[in-house]
Chain A
Amino acid sequence: MNRPTNILAVLAIVFFFGVALGAAGGESLPKIKPAPEFTLTKQDGKRLDLKELRGKVLAITFIFASCTDTCPLLTAKMAGIQDRLGPAFGAQVFFLSITVDPEHDTSAVLKRYAEAHRANMAGWAFLTGSPAEIREVARRYGIYYKKNARGDVDHTFLTSLVDQSGILRVQYMGVRFNPDEMLRDFQALLREEKAR
């Protein structure tokens, strides 16, 4: 074989191994974009900068405390996942639930909401802010919300998983997603960190 053929052969082998092993080993989650930064107020009244959580896998959801239909289902589902994460919850995985009703959902209201849904606040923060702050965060995470005539908030249900480096990796629409799949995604992201 001449030299260019050798180089092509090496390239082909390297490419084949990459593709074949990628398929065999299960694909890693995509890297969508850096998770939009924000600083909001927690249920204890303290400010939280998203950067403070770098090094942990995050799940970011949008809810509002007086929601009586879908939000409680989402929060309950996340509480179930919280339990299944065991010791990794808080230490390696952190949940953030951001209100889309900042006029009503003060820190105190969110604290009561968190307690009612047995959220372990060692690994779960409920965040509020000024209407302008919330509007900007929602926009940047691709959330539509609007207060309707009944005083409820119409909004998209979207849970975003962010990796330890602050990269948005996957988004779950609605509340009917498979919790086992989300748990597997958390585990995959934790394994990635270990592998680095």
Chain B
Amino acid sequence: MSNQSSEGLSRREFLKGAALAGTAALFGIHPDSLAAELPPETTKLRLVRTTSICQAPQYIAEELLRGEGFTQVQYVFKSTPGEIGKALASGEADVNLHFAGPLIIGLDTGDPVVILAGSHIGCFELFGTGRIRAIRDLKGKSVAVPGLGSPPHVFLSIIVAHVGLNPSKDINWITLPPVDSMRLLAESKIDAYLGFPPEPQELRAKKIGHVLVNTTIDRPWSQYFCCLIAGNRSFVEKNPIATKRAMRAILKAADFCALEPDQSARFLVEKGFKTSRDYALQTMKEVPYGKWREYDPEDTVRFYALSLHDVGMIKTSPNKLIAQATDWRFLRELKKELKG
């Protein structure tokens, strides 16, 4: 039964309005002050640019960030995605997408960084040579990573631990730049390699190795965000409006990647990312960039924190990390403001 009268307010709406107005008045808030979002506290925003196009939304967001009032949008160049965490913690970058695992390891050691939202799920893929038919076959084998503690090393440690291997004892880690790792995988001189876009697209196109894990479709990895939006703690505390506006631009750009993969790929190539348009397009089509509303980023933090805790890579409990280093208020608001 509806309690809405044909004219004017229903009893429920009246009570709700009166109660909210009363609450606002008691706290000295004028209704008009609730209405409009103010300009950002700062017009300068710094993000990181690496060779990985997994973080495509934040590159595509450049123009949208200007629309949000940022007149100075600066991209700090770093050679690998592994350097994103340090840039955020040091304040060299204000807001950025970063991989869940390394982000949580940084938080465990006290990085002044706040996780704000999820961006997209999946994205990295584990490739093996013909000798490797399943993850367990990696025991005693050589796996290339750009460095110990790098995003591929962190994620792969969790993946192998998930099937009962000890990442620090059972795997022969070899540190190599990605380009050399892919060459050695093609020559079967290493046994496995975990690639981030556009590397998986290139490996598949060149028929190098075969896919052991595709985190976009294989559970449990496909159930969690690969990349989260995070901010430097001091920046977020001092600039809440700027933080929300930056997130709005990045999340709009994530939707754009999902809705207009062709245009997004063209944009990335024009921006000088060293990838072919085909690989970029494939990445835009395969990575579920439009799912940021559907998945719960807190689940992602809990899942990866538990997994990292289990393999001894962090000491802090998931609940403590969530309590101390996440801030979902902007995401909650943006989910209501930005429908898809």
Q: Would you call A174 and B340 a contact (CB within 8 A)? A: yes
Q: Which of A105-137 contact B (CB under 8 A)?
A: none
B260 at the interface (CB under 8 A from A): yes
State A177–B340 Cα separation when bound (angstroms). 5
Q: Would you call A195 and B9 a contact (CB within 8 A)? A: yes
Contact residues in A for B35 (Cβ distance below 8 Å): 31, 167
Contact residues in B for A143 (Cβ distance below 8 Å): 67
Nearest-neighbor residue (CB-CB) of A178 within chain B: B339
A30 at the interface (CB under 8 A from B): yes
A22 at the interface (CB under 8 A from B): yes
Q: Would you call A156 and B252 a contact (CB within 8 A)? A: yes
State A25–B13 Cα separation when bound (angstroms). 7
Q: Which of A173-193 contact B (CB under 8 A)?
A: 173-177, 181
Given A11-B26, A14-B19, A17-B19, A170 and B336 contact (CB-CB distance below 8 Å) = yes
Nearest-neighbor residue (CB-CB) of A163 within chain B: B35
Q: Would you call A173 and B26 a contact (CB within 8 A)? A: no
Q: Which of A11-32 contact B (CB under 8 A)?
A: 11, 14-15, 17-18, 21-22, 24-25, 27, 29-32
Nearest-neighbor residue (CB-CB) of B249 within chain A: A142
| Distance to closest chain B CB from A131 (angstroms) | 15
Q: Which of B9-25 contact A (CB under 8 A)?
A: 9, 12-13, 15-17, 19-20, 22-23
State A18–B258 Cα separation when bound (angstroms). 38
B303 at the interface (CB under 8 A from A): no
Q: Would you call A14 and B22 a contact (CB within 8 A)? A: yes
Q: Would you call B259 and A157 a contact (CB within 8 A)? A: yes
Contact residues in B for A11 (Cβ distance below 8 Å): 26
Contact with A along B28-46 (1 / 0, CB 8 A): 0000001111000000000
Interface size class of B (residues with CB under 8 A): 35 or more
A194 at the interface (CB under 8 A from B): yes
Given A31-B35, A154-B260, A21 and B8 contact (CB-CB distance below 8 Å) = no
Q: Would you call A154 and B12 a contact (CB within 8 A)? A: no
State A61–B60 Cα separation when bound (angstroms). 20
Contact of B259 among A17, A21, A176 (CB under 8 A): A176
Q: Would you call A22 and B20 a contact (CB within 8 A)? A: yes
Contact residues in B for A33 (Cβ distance below 8 Å): 36-37
Contact residues in B for A142 (Cβ distance below 8 Å): 64, 67-68, 248-249, 252
Given A154-B266, A156-B252, A158-B252, A177 and B339 contact (CB-CB distance below 8 Å) = yes
User: Size of chain A's interface in residues, with CB distance under 8 A?
Assistant: 42
B267 at the interface (CB under 8 A from A): yes
Contact residues in A for B260 (Cβ distance below 8 Å): 70, 154, 156-157
Nearest-neighbor residue (CB-CB) of A144 within chain B: B63
Contact residues in A for B263 (Cβ distance below 8 Å): 148, 154
Contact residues in A for B339 (Cβ distance below 8 Å): 170-173, 177, 181
Nearest-neighbor residue (CB-CB) of B293 within chain A: A173
Q: Which of B233-268 contact A (CB under 8 A)?
A: 248-249, 252, 255-256, 258-260, 263, 266-267
Contact residues in B for A21 (Cβ distance below 8 Å): 12, 15-16, 19
| Distance to closest chain B CB from A132 (angstroms) | 15
A34 at the interface (CB under 8 A from B): yes
| Distance to closest chain B CB from A138 (angstroms) | 8
Nearest-neighbor residue (CB-CB) of B333 within chain A: A30
Contact residues in A for B337 (Cβ distance below 8 Å): 30, 32, 170-171
State A32–B60 Cα separation when bound (angstroms). 22
Q: Would you call A31 and B19 a contact (CB within 8 A)? A: no
Q: Would you call B259 and A18 a contact (CB within 8 A)? A: no
State A114–B266 Cα separation when bound (angstroms). 30
Given A18-B22, A141-B67, A194-B8, A171 and B338 contact (CB-CB distance below 8 Å) = yes
Given A18-B20, A195-B17, A27 and B256 contact (CB-CB distance below 8 Å) = no
Q: A25-B16, A171-B339, A175-B259 are in contact. List 12 more A-B contacts (CB 8 A).
A: A14-B22, A14-B26, A143-B67, A144-B256, A146-B267, A154-B260, A157-B259, A170-B336, A171-B338, A173-B259, A173-B340, A176-B259
Residues of A within 8 A of B (CB): 11, 14-15, 17-18, 21-22, 24-25, 27, 29-34, 70, 138-144, 146, 148, 154, 156-158, 167, 170-177, 181, 194-195
Some 21 contacts from A to B, beta carbons below 8 A apart, are A18-B22, A21-B19, A22-B16, A24-B12, A25-B12, A25-B13, A30-B337, A140-B67, A142-B67, A142-B68, A142-B248, A142-B252, A167-B36, A170-B337, A170-B338, A173-B252, A173-B255, A173-B338, A174-B255, A174-B259, A181-B339
Q: Lowest 4 A-B CB distances belong to which pairs?
A: A21-B16, A17-B19, A18-B19, A173-B255
